[in-house]
Structure 1
Amino acid sequence: MSNPFLSPIARRQLLGLAAATACTVLSPVTAQAAEYPSKAVRVVVGFPAGSVTDAIARLMADQLSKSLGQPFVVENKPGANGMLGATEVARATPDGYTLLVTNSSSVTINPQIYKKVNYKPADFAPISQIIDAPFILVVNSAWAQGAKVNTLDELMNWAKAHPGQLSYGSAGPGNIAHLSFAMLSNRKQVQTVHVPYKAGSQAQLAAIGGEIQTLFDTPPSIPQIENGKLKALAVTSSKRMARLPNVPTMAEAGVPGFDVSFWLGALAPKGTPQAVIDKLYAAIKQMPNDPAVKNALSMQGDPVVTDPASFAKRIASEVPTWGAVIQREGISLD
């Protein structure tokens, strides 16, 4: 009930004070975000040091440390196509002090392809996509010369003539590079052998060293293509890559409808306050504004920094897409 002895001005001042007090009492999350981060933040990477995912994580951690004034420390937890690191973050306290930098395989594919997995895409709060990139189908140059393989068709013809002898690598069972080669093998009806590694960089070294003959590699392989250690046969983007103008797309090489790309991005445990997510995204989106950082990102793929809602939408759209591929190819892993 209003006090009849208060003047209109005094009444307005009293109501304003009450509203301000209510906001202070009812907005602890806002206060938490304003203070965040107040200590070091862990950035978990489910792949080894030196991998593409690790490189992106370290660029992001450096940016966040500078922008937010606290250390962002990268911790590598490699294994099971990024599943070990993802599982740890999914179980972490959702306070913004444990983050995940990973690739699309570990979030959109692992929960659908592994029989024993302890997380699902909904267990994460997307912060930002950072990189989008296609794959490059490469072969060991010395082997290709001896086998007279210069095109995708010639690679598949060699595989048909030598059943079970063409070996390809990937960053682990269920990795998008693994699924992509399985799709290619099924479409061309050839028998190939998958050799999993803990990181794509290790698979690349195996191809250069002759342990395997081929793989779907990532853009950081371009220097190895340019120096002649690897030979590029096709790219999985819908148009040719600017850095590889003479390499055809998969469609141009005779495999239409084979547009495959992967993302690298940052996520937090489900339930992390939205104000903290937004604060992290605001710092991450500044990364391409630094020419040196943008150049470093461009070596890994196309810098495509998206907001949390757009990133969540992409993840949600990819889950059924890859689910259909997994079902069609009949792939299941322990």
Structure 2
Amino acid sequence: MAMASALMLGGMMPGAVMAQQAAWPGKPIRLIVPFPAGSFTDTVARVVSERLTKSLGQPVVVENKAGANGLIGATEVARSAPDGYTVMVTNSSSVTINPQVYKKGGYKPKDFAPVTLILEAPFILVTNPDWAQKHGVNTVQDLARYAAQQPGKISYGSAGPGNIAHLSFAMLNNRAKIQTTHIPYKSAAQAQMAVISGELDTAFDTWSALPQIKAGKLKPIAVSGVKRMAQLPDVPTVEEAGYKPFDATFWIGLLAPAGTPPQIVQKLYSSMQGILEDEKARAALSQQGEVVMIDPARFAKRVEQEEASWGAVIQKEGITLD
């Protein structure tokens, strides 16, 4: 009798699990951001949190778990229960680059279930205007010329070793066959201020540089994508300057722990699709980059491809952080 009861219970388990998944979400959801409050990624996450809260009918609460270029927060998500109650908004560095430069890190890309890409943006190669005028640096070719004359003298910054902005400049060094000096900061915002103040010469910056460019505090000389930015139509791509191939595009995406049920992943993706019809949310995101919602399968393929492409840069540069 006991065995029969157990078999009946076992037979009911799949149905019970499906019912539980169908009822998801039944409680608040944690939205982990592996970067500080006020950061580029956090700004996007706040928009996502508001939208998902409305769509799913449960609070989606942002938790900032900053440190080690996103490693700390992403590791927590990778180790969380795959039940849909812990998800993450993060950038491409933490997913495709960190596992390759932190050999003792706590996760691999396969430890996540990609939900959707949210936005993508090229970097803007900016310089300090006074420095650029002093040394005649108005283009990438000018920067390469000066770097060739003064190996290692040009300083550039990023949000930390192994950050995608760091690797983008390392890739430029490779393409242009120049030597420059990397100065790591705790955040992209700090690196940006260092260029404005003249503490740094140059950096690959995010779209947050646009107001500073408009104000004349930063000078743009190139963008890192394969096409020009609509906001900076007169600024050429690095490829146009003759350094091919060159595509360093930064993205922000929504991911869950690997093993999260497909029904939940799909429901999250469907809920995110609402941003495309939400003028307020879309306008807020458009200040950070180009809104690009792609489905889980396409996002997973994008992660796989970028893991390989950045891996080639990391291997060539011999970058390791532990």
TM-score, length-scaled by structure 2? 0.92
In structure 2, the residue matched to 1:299 is: 287
Between the aligned partners of 1:82 and 1:53, the Cα distance in structure 2 is 10
Aligned partner of 1:155 among 143, 155, 160? 143
Aligned ranges 1:74-85 → 2 under 5 Å = 74-85=62-73
1:238 paired to 2:226 = yes
Between the aligned partners of 1:164 and 1:76, the Cα distance in structure 2 is 36
1:203 paired to 2:187 = no
Contact 1:138 1:233 in 2 (8 A): yes
The code of the aligned residue for 2:153 comes to Q
The code of the aligned residue for 2:169 comes to F
Query: Which stretch has the larger CA shift, 84-93 or 141-150?
Result: 141-150
Between the aligned partners of 1:202 and 1:292, the Cα distance in structure 2 is 28
Query: Which stretch has the larger CA shift, 144-153 or 298-307?
Result: 144-153
The code of the aligned residue for 2:316 comes to R
Distance 1:23-1:246 versus aligned 2 partners, 3 A rule: farther
Q: What SS is found at the alignment partner of 1:127?
A: strand
In structure 2, the residue matched to 1:53 is: 41
Q: What SS is found at the alignment partner of 1:239?
A: coil
Contact 1:140 1:230 in 2 (8 A): yes
| Deviation of the 1:33 alpha carbon | 2.6
The code of the aligned residue for 1:145 comes to Q
| Deviation of the 1:220 alpha carbon | 2.3
1:141 paired to 2:129 = yes
1:312 paired to 2:300 = yes
| Deviation of the 1:217 alpha carbon | 1.0
Q: What SS is found at the alignment partner of 2:162?
A: coil
Between the aligned partners of 1:93 and 1:103, the Cα distance in structure 2 is 21
1:62 paired to 2:50 = yes
**Cα offsets for 1:10-50 (capped at 9, x unmatched):** xxxxxxxxxxxx99763233322332222221111111112
Listed as ranges, the gaps of 5+ residues in structure 1 are: 1-21
Q: What SS is found at the alignment partner of 1:245?
A: coil
The code of the aligned residue for 1:268 comes to A
| Deviation of the 1:274 alpha carbon | 1.4
- Highest Rg: 1 or 2? 1
Between the aligned partners of 1:128 and 1:23, the Cα distance in structure 2 is 34
In structure 2, the residue matched to 1:116 is: 104
In structure 2, the residue matched to 1:268 is: 256
In structure 1, the residue matched to 2:5 is: none
Aligned ranges 1:20-35 → 2 under 5 Å = 26-35=14-23
Contact 2:175 2:244 in 1 (8 A): no
In structure 1, the residue matched to 2:157 is: 169
The code of the aligned residue for 2:113 comes to A
In structure 2, the residue matched to 1:185 is: 173
In structure 2, the residue matched to 1:331 is: 319
The code of the aligned residue for 1:184 comes to L
Q: What SS is found at the alignment partner of 1:283?
A: helix
Aligned Cα root-mean-square deviation (Å): 1.7
In structure 1, the residue matched to 2:3 is: none
1:256 paired to 2:244 = yes
1:282 paired to 2:270 = yes
Query: Which stretch has the larger CA shift, 247-256 or 51-60?
Result: 247-256
Distance 1:23-1:65 versus aligned 2 partners, 3 A rule: farther
Identity over aligned pairs, percent: 58
Aligned partner of 1:132 among 88, 113, 120? 120
Between the aligned partners of 1:23 and 1:209, the Cα distance in structure 2 is 67
Between the aligned partners of 1:321 and 1:228, the Cα distance in structure 2 is 34
**Cα offsets for 1:123-154 (capped at 9, x unmatched):** 11111110111111111112212222211121
Q: What SS is found at the alignment partner of 1:28?
A: helix
| Deviation of the 1:78 alpha carbon | 1.4
Number of matched pairs: 313
Between the aligned partners of 1:79 and 1:26, the Cα distance in structure 2 is 39
Between the aligned partners of 2:294 and 2:11, the Cα distance in structure 1 is 31
Aligned partner of 2:81 among 70, 76, 93? 93
Q: What SS is found at the alignment partner of 1:243?
A: coil
**Cα offsets for 1:76-128 (capped at 9, x unmatched):** 11121111110011111111111111111111111112222110011111111
Between the aligned partners of 1:205 and 1:329, the Cα distance in structure 2 is 27
